[in-house]
């Protein structure tokens, strides 16, 4: 039989035990980040540092900048957008979907001609260089030049060099720079054009040469918060992307920081 005194004693014991348990930390606020595919590895690492700092946890979505911009336009719940070119940031800006005053240039990049790691092909990039001849019966792997930023830079460079018409009918069009990278890494294409930062993270490809910067528009990565989604955690992550810790990560992956 449980007496009143034994009940009180049991209740006191349970209360004391509860007090001795470690308090559970509140879950970190989440930040939904829509970022160009070429930033995948760097943003994953920076996101882990941000979470370790206790400021929040990122939920990333990676794709071509055009795909992400269209998704944001259609109401996807992004809080922060990192584009691989100015065009798609401008697109959202014109539709008044970017938070005023939060846009800036975060990174810079370079364009590289790549080949499978065991390939011995050598090419110097100059006006009229024999790109089509080096392809033989193969295809040139590129981001789709109709909408993927790396493909737009590629088309611009090859037009300036006078070889675009030679290869236009021999393209393997990837829906992102990582898709273009994979075609070469798997040996499906003998040559491809991607960012130097993407080439650096795939052990199955090698850089044949880097395009001169004067052959295309400077490759810049604007970043901005999405209008109406400016949470404290999102603002904190935007600031964290510009911190020395984040810059060290970006630079290790080959990006130029601003």
State the pLDDT at residue 50.
Answer: 98
- Quick check: 208 and 191 in contact, CB under 8 A? yes
How far apart, in whole angstroms, are the C-alpha atoms of residue 118 and residue 204?
Answer: 8
pLDDT band at 1 (very low <50, low <70, confident <90, very high): very low
Q: Which residues pair with 17 in a beta bridge?
A: none
- The CATH-assigned architecture of domain 30-108+220-257 is 3-Layer(aba) Sandwich (3.40)
Tell me what pLDDT residue 29 has.
96
pTM value is 0.84
Question: Mind listing the pLDDT tens digit for each residue in 11-66?
Answer: 454 444 445 545 566 799 999 999 999 999 999 999 999 999 999 999 999 999 99
In degrees, rounded to 5, the angle at the alpha carbon of residue 117 between the alpha carbons of residues 111 and 123 is: 50
111-210 is classed in which CATH architecture?
3-Layer(aba) Sandwich (3.40)
Q: Answer positive or negative: Cα dihedral of 129, 134, 136, 138.
A: negative
Eight-state DSSP code of residue 169:
G
Q: What are the C-alpha distances in Å from 131 to residues 123, 164, 186?
A: 8, 9, 20
The span from the CA of 130 to the CA of 236, in Å, is 48
Beta bridge partners of 105: 222
Helices 149-160 and 86-94 sit at what angle, rounded to 10 degrees?
A: 120
Helix axes 65-73, 86-94, angle to 10 degrees: 10
Q: Phi first, then psi: give them for residue 179, nearest 5 degrees.
A: -65, -45
The two structure tokens encoding residue 227: 């209008």
Query: How many angstroms from the chain centroid is the CA of residue 152?
Result: 16
DSSP E strand stretches across the chain: 30-36, 57-63, 80-82, 104-109, 111-116, 140-143, 171-174, 191-195, 205-210, 219-225, 256-257
Q: What 3-state DSSP class applies to 199? A: helix
Q: Give per-residue pLDDT as tens, 105-117.
A: 999 999 999 999 9
The tokens for 143 are 């981001």
Which residue ranges does the chain devote to CATH 3.40.190.10? 30-108+220-257, 111-210
pLDDT the model gives residue 18: 46
- Asked if 119 contacts 246 with a C-beta cutoff of 8 angstroms, the reply is no
């Amino acid at each position: 039989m449980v007496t009143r005194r034994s009940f009180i004693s049991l209740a006191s014991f349970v209360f004391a035990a509860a007090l001795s348990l470690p308090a559970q930390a509140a879950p970190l606020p989440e930040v939904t980040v829509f970022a160009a595919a070429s930033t995948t590895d760097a943003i994953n690492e920076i996101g882990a540092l941000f979470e370790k700092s206790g400021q929040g946890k990122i939920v990333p979505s990676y794709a071509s900048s055009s795909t992400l911009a269209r998704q944001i336009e259609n109401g996807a719940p992004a809080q922060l957008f990192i584009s691989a070119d100015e065009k798609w940031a401008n697109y959202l800006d014109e539709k008044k979907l970017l938070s005023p005053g939060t846009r800036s240039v975060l990174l810079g990049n370079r364009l590289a001609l790549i080949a499978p790691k065991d390939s011995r092909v050598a090419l110097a990039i100059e006006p009229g260089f024999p790109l089509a001849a080096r392809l033989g019966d193969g295809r040139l792997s590129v981001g789709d030049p109709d909408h993927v930023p790396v493909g737009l830079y590629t088309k611009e460079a090859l037009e300036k060099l006078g070889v675009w018409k030679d290869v236009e009918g021999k393209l393997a069009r990837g829906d992102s720079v990582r898709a273009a990278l994979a075609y070469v890494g798997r040996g499906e294409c003998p040559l491809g054009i991607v960012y130097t930062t993407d080439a650096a993270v795939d052990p199955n490809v090698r850089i044949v040469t880097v395009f001169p910067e004067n052959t295309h528009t400077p490759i810049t990565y604007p970043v901005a918060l999405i209008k109406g989604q400016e949470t404290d955690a999102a603002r904190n992550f935007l600031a964290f992307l510009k911190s020395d810790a984040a810059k060290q990560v970006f630079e290790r992956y080959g990006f130029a920081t601003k």
